[in-house]
Amino acid sequence: MEIEPLRIEGAYQVTPRQFPDDRGVFLEAFRGDLLAELTGHEMRVLQTNVSVSARGALRGIHYADVPPSQAKYVTALSGSFLDFVVDIRVGSPTFGQWQSVLLDTVDRRAVYLSEGLGHALCALEDGSTAHYLCSAAYNPTREHGLHPLDPAIGLELPDGLEPTLSPKDAAAPTLEDARAAGLLPSYDACRAFRTELGSAP
């Protein structure tokens, strides 16, 4: 398994080693010990989610209040996605920037994003199924969103793909409106929380 940091601090791309034979294929999809060597703490999984999406379904940009926020580890079980990690931490050197990773059933990559980062997922095929490991349970009072088509963020979708948003995501504020309203996590608070996780017994 190869775990590589993305250019946004606290986000990683995970590429598993696959073992095919005449029965199919085997791989390690998650290694908490290896991830902890890079993040400084183990990812405690409290909830798993599955989403099944039609082509063009764009989920996000979602995030949660820090603490405890919600770290995520996302893989594709079928179909394919563009997974977007968005730095929404006020004060971060890469604030407002994003990076995408192709998740599919060929390379079977995963994306890990730490607490405080924004996340969006765009399905590239009908019936694409994503699996999420989450470090905290869903709490609707602490969950937030940003408009995924905010031009100031500028997520790049494939040519010819028409995005479909939920009513909630379509009504979400822009990055600047959320920052002005004090809805975004701070870079310092996110780093302090991750340090606290690393020192917990």
The residues assigned a catalytic role are 62, 132
CA distance 149 to 153: 8
Residue 136's closest CA among 41, 48, 47? 47
| Structure token digits, residue 187 | 């870079």
Q: How far apart are CA 61 and CA 15, in angstroms?
A: 24
Q: In the beta sheet, which residues pair with residue 191? A: none
Following CA atoms 121, 71, 10, 62 in sequence, which dihedral angle do they give, to the nearest 10 degrees? Answer: 40
What 3-state class would DSSP assign to 50? strand
Helices within 18-172 (DSSP H only): 32-39, 167-170
Rounded CA separation 76/82 (Å): 10
Q: What are phi and psi of 58, to 5 degrees?
A: -120, 110
Give the residue from 118, 119, 54, 90 showing the smallest Cα distance to 185.
90
